[in-house]
Structure 1
Amino acid sequence: MSVQGEVMTATREPRRRRPFLSRWPGSGAAMTVASIVGGILIWQLLSLRLPPLFLPSPRDTVLGAIELWQDGTLQMAILASSGRILVGWGLGLVVGVPIGILMGHFRWIRTLLDPYIEFFRFIPPIALVTLAVIWLGPGEMSKVALIFYTTVFLVTLNTLAGVRAVPELRLRAAASLGAGAVRTLWTVIVPSTVPYMVTGARLALGNSFLTIVSAEIVSAEDGLGALIWLARNYSRTEWVFVGIIVLGWLGYAFDRLLKYASMRLFARYGVNG
């Protein structure tokens, strides 16, 4: 063997062995199913030792879900909460993205709005539930406004961070090619900021589910938050579990849909999951 061959052999990276479970097709899905089944079994075992009012069994929870589904309560609650979340969240995106871009690109706008952003983002939406009901009434507007409030600051701050993170080299390259401020904004800054916008939208969507429960508990006759509160009044803990589980699955579904849509629409901007 030549000297060059010996050097190449010595410097060749060792072959990495694949993890044992990854060699089997479908092992990831099987582990997920096994994890869920294991969690349900632990839940069942704990429910055998605790009273149903404290911890209903999986069977009682399923029966409660069937009961709520058959009389239409569960469907109405899902539709009501989903509608409020989507409207408030969508409005927060429409307002938060432009504000974040303008704050990041123009120093004077950032200086003007930064005190308000930094002040209000630390006030939780639940602290404003009473004011929302007084100012906007107990109808849909108060709930949508709280979701909007939850969304707009997260989206604004993430978009602002994206604008500030645009490499200076890109900006100089655009300027050297004759691009003005507006053209640079639309062709360099906005495309580079898209991954940050998507991250802010996903974070805001998760926080919207936190907010909707408190808003509906205080001033709503329908929705998943109102369902959980109604279950508390009637001492139906299994209904509480139904509401909690549906909230979790609904949020998971919304996030997966948003992630999939973002990857399909904005893959060329670096959004990959």
Structure 2
Amino acid sequence: MTQSPKPNSPFATHTARSVSLRIAGLPGAAIVLSFGLVLSVWALLGAWSEVPDTILPAPWDVWGAALELWYNGSLLTDLGASLGRAGIGFAIGSTLGIGVGLLTGRVAIARVMLGPVLSLLRPIPAIALVPLAIVWFGIGEGSKYFVVSYTVFLAVWFNTHHGMQYLPETYLRAARSLGATPRREFVSVMLPSVAPHILAGVRLGVALSFLSLVAAELSGASSGLGFRLQEARQYIRTDRMFALLIILGALGAAADFVVQRLGAKLVHWEQA
């Protein structure tokens, strides 16, 4: 019989490293295992008669509710409305956040004038602005765009501002000693250095765009995933609530994955 390697032997160490590398190289297996475990526990609780469906619907009931939304056509309509609002609000908020963050991070007068005000606005949650947004822009699309772009703007601004403010001065001195013009200094030194911070802010903004979107759609909307959640609550359709929450989570995870992959290609020097 072949003897198993001793725990502290070089062969055992090499084997453990190989196994860990194989596991690390299979993120799909980890995802399947994680979701499989959660679904198994969820199915057991759903099958337990002591837990009412209005509290915790079974996975198959949630799947049935999702199919019901799909076949009656409301899911596609709500997805289109929500993705459009989140996309437009994210584009406005991230663009303004990057621009203002670059400005306040390097220009002292802009930092003094805008920094305290923006720091005061950051703790205000998006849902608290919904009544004000309705007063300002009505119950149409403008109020939704405002709430989403406000939330995204603050997240992207903070990360961009932080990266720009703490840019190592040695980089700038080295560029100036080589005769770089201010434009060349900005394009070749500042932007590459602050790009990872911008990417982190954009990834956070993607997640916050969906969070604030639901807050915006909970009142004054006639379509969208947030509106459908509110409707399901009124009719105590917990299965629909779970289905819509899972769809929202999947959309957010997919958007974050896309931004992460694009960021890895654009900010490739950070991966080295």
On whether the aligned pair clears a TM of 0.5, the verdict is yes
Map residues 1-273 of structure 1 onto 2, 5 A cutoff: 17-18=16-17, 20-23=19-22, 27-49=26-48, 50-268=51-269, 270=270, 272=271
- The whole-number CA distance in structure 2 between the counterparts of 1:201 and 1:156 is 9
CA drift of 1:82 comes to 1.0
Query: Is contact 1:101–1:190 with CA below 8 Å preserved after alignment?
Result: no
Where does the alignment leave 5 or more consecutive residues of structure 2 unmatched?
A: 1-12
Cα deviation code 1:24-77 (max 9, x no counterpart): 697542232122111111111112231111111111111111110001111111
Q: How far is 1:186 from its partner?
A: 2.3
Q: What code does the residue aligned with 2:199 have?
A: V
Instruction: Give 1:232's aligned amino acid.
Output: R
The aligned residue for residue 12 of structure 1 is none
Indicate conservation of the 8 Å contact 1:21/1:27, yes or no.
no
Residue type of the partner of 1:208? S
- Deviation of 1:87 after TM superposition, in Å, equals 0.6
| Aligned mates of 1:192, 1:103 — CA distance in 2 | 16
1:123 counterpart SS class: coil
- In structure 2, the residue matched to 1:10 is none
- Flag structure 1 segments of 5+ consecutive residues without an equivalent: 1-14
Q: Which amino acid aligns with 2:36?
A: V
Q: Whole-Å Cα distance in 2 between the matches of residues 231 and 208 of structure 1?
A: 22
| Distance in structure 2 (CA, Å) of the matches to 1:24 and 1:53 | 39
Distance 1:42 1:218, change over 3 A: same
How far apart in 1 are the matches of 2:135 and 2:165? 38
Distance 2:21 2:142 in 1: 50
Please list the CA deviations of residues 215-263 of structure 1 after superposition, one character each: whole Å capped at 9, or x if unmatched: 1011111111111111111121110011100000000000001111111
How far did residue 21 of structure 1 move? 4.9
Q: How many residue pairs are counted as aligned between the two chains?
A: 258
Return closer, same or farther for 1:21/1:233 CA change in 2, 3 Å cut-off.
same
> In structure 2, how many angstroms separate the alpha carbons of the residues matched to 1:26 and 1:185?
38
SS in 1 for 2:80: helix
Q: TM-score, normalised by structure 1?
A: 0.89
Matches of 1:159 and 1:183 in 2, distance apart? 19
Equivalent pairs: percent with the same residue? Answer: 37
